[in-house]
Amino acid sequence: MAAHAQELIAVTGTSSGIGRATAKRLAADGFHVLAGVRRSQDGEELKAPNIEPVIVDVTDADTIRALADRIAHDSQRRGLRAVVNNAGIAVNAPVETAPLDEWRKQFEVSVIGQIAVTQALIPALLANGGRVINIGSVGGKIAMPGFGPYSAAKFAMEAVTDALRREIEKFGVKVVIITPGAVKTNMTDQGIKTADRLASVMTADQHERYDRVITAFKEQAEKFGRDGVPAEKAAAVISRAIRARKPKTRYTVGIEAAILTRMVRLLPERVLDSMMRRMMKL
């Protein structure tokens, strides 16, 4: 499928990391990218040929509606080739200690927000035979200690992706999920800061139970940030999923993701539990 400037692609969460790299890659491919950012300053930094920053907060219905209107009333009548649902946050804490408001925030941004954007853009995707690209995670395949809220949201997006694919592909819209492993992005630092903030309000008993888990999580997260693949590698896979004439239903990014997704399918859960404990030195 040849990329050209007569097609639009909407990408959420382009201020940094995978989203920013994806916007740049798709612009280089020749698409006109509507790059969703939450702050005008981020948009100014991202602005470039074929990249049009737009304010999109996936928890704000007005900005989502404005994005849909921008696409529906494109001055050049370009069709929507794809939406890349990339916006997300990482709330990391033991299940017992994560406040319910933090669980709600994780799901509001990383699940409900993705669904809201998809619902708003489905008419444009149907009109152009486009595709939905959801950014998942190995955390949506296996939940490590301390990653409960984040993994729960990513598991949910696996289900949303499967349901949507089975509902809508017969109408010409392809639905794909991308599963990265460790990727070098600033979400690692944000996740660690969130973990520290939530740990600061734990009770003494909770500290006794979970301090080792929190330390192990932080060490694992730092390893992801240090040894992960560049965000550009994820962007290349997303580009391939958009340009392929017959895309696969799911793609992995990095050897770690490929191995872990296979292990989850093949190994008994007790074996996986033991492996996770050893990997995190618990």
Strand (E) or helix (H) holding 218: helix 204-227
Q: How many degrees, rounded to 5, is the angle at CA 281 between CA 271 and CA 147?
A: 75
Q: Cα separation of 226 and 228, whole Å?
A: 6
N residues, the chain: 282
Q: Cα separation of 4 and 61, whole Å?
A: 30
Task: Tell me the sheet residues that pair with 32.
Answer: 8
Out of 147, 150, 217, 251, the active site residue is: 150
Task: Tell me the sheet residues that pair with 8.
Answer: 32, 80
Given a contact cutoff of 8 angstroms between Cβ atoms, the answer to whether 48 and 57 are in contact is: no
Given a contact cutoff of 8 angstroms between Cβ atoms, the answer to whether 55 and 37 are in contact is: yes
User: Known catalytic residue: 150?
Assistant: yes
CB atoms within 10 A of CB 126: 14
Among all residues, which ones are annotated catalytic? 150
